[in-house]
Amino acid sequence: MKKLHMLAVILLLAIPALAVRPMITDDYGIAEFGSHQLECGFYSLQPRGTNDKSSSILATISHAMLPNAELTIMIPYALTGSTGLQDIVVSGKIKLQEDMVSEGLSARADVKLTNGDVDSGLGTGKANYTLMAIYTKKIIWDLYTDYNIGYTWVGVPAGRRSADYFFYSADVEYIIPHSPLIVLAELSANNSTSPGQVAMQLAVKYAMQENLVVDLGYNIGLNEAAYSNTLTIGFTTQIKTAAKK
């Protein structure tokens, strides 16, 4: 049972928390005002030091309730081990500054709920709270970079040692001119373990239609503390709400 619980915790740390698929790093942008954005992906995780692979589906639904703010719900579902709904995360993001198109600063707050079953390893039984800052900068032409820094307060049973941690990540995104392809690279780290976890991800996105983007990402752990690798494939689509007459 303890092993299943640890796999669930590792999986929650490995998958992106409300990021822009398939990256761990978020960007400053929000969904178009009044619209809904759906991201859905499959994850296959290989923890280090074990042959027990974990897989899950992660769906996120975002709604821009204001021109500069959105509400997002992340819904993870485990497909291996004890299958079922894991702890849901609710997030709010507000755009603080926009220097130019596709460049600016945002802040985000997340709350991980306690709906997942603790005994089967689908949840931790305690809520987590996260605050983070997000900055997006255009480097040149169609090359962008995003930076995230944040802190998570991890709920632990009374008398247990605190498991709170800092996390940091940065990515670069290149939109290939006259092409539906976008290539991305990312470096991420957190000190949720000792020593901290460091990982790198390479990804590609393909715009099939105006409101449909498919993606493929491969994340590699760069030290012994990190999970070995994660493969993900998914899509992002935006549903525009019809204007009221």
pLDDT for 161 equals 65
pLDDT for 218 equals 97
Q: Tell which phi-psi region holds residue 5, choosing left (phi > 0), alpha (psi between -120 and 50) or beta.
A: alpha
Percentage above 70 pLDDT, the chain? 88
**With the C-alpha atoms ordered 155, 158, 162, 163, is the resulting torsion angle positive or negative?**
negative
Q: Amino acid identity, residue 98?
A: E
For residue range 184-235, list pLDDT tens digits in order. 999 999 998 888 999 999 999 999 988 899 999 999 999 998 888 999 999 9
- Where would I find the beta strands (DSSP E) of 2-123? 36-46, 54-66, 69-78, 84-85, 89-100, 103-112
- Each residue's pLDDT tens digit in the chain (245 positions)? 333 333 344 444 444 444 589 999 999 999 888 889 999 999 999 888 787 889 999 999 999 999 999 999 999 999 998 999 999 999 999 999 998 778 999 999 999 999 999 999 899 899 999 999 999 999 998 999 999 999 999 987 655 666 899 999 999 999 999 999 999 999 999 998 888 999 999 999 999 988 899 999 999 999 998 888 999 999 999 887 655 44
pLDDT for 19 equals 57
Report whether 88 contacts 94 (CB < 8 A).
no
Report whether 22 contacts 41 (CB < 8 A).
yes
Cβ neighbors of 23 (< 8 A, separation 6 or more) are 16, 146, 171, 184, 186, 201, 203, 217
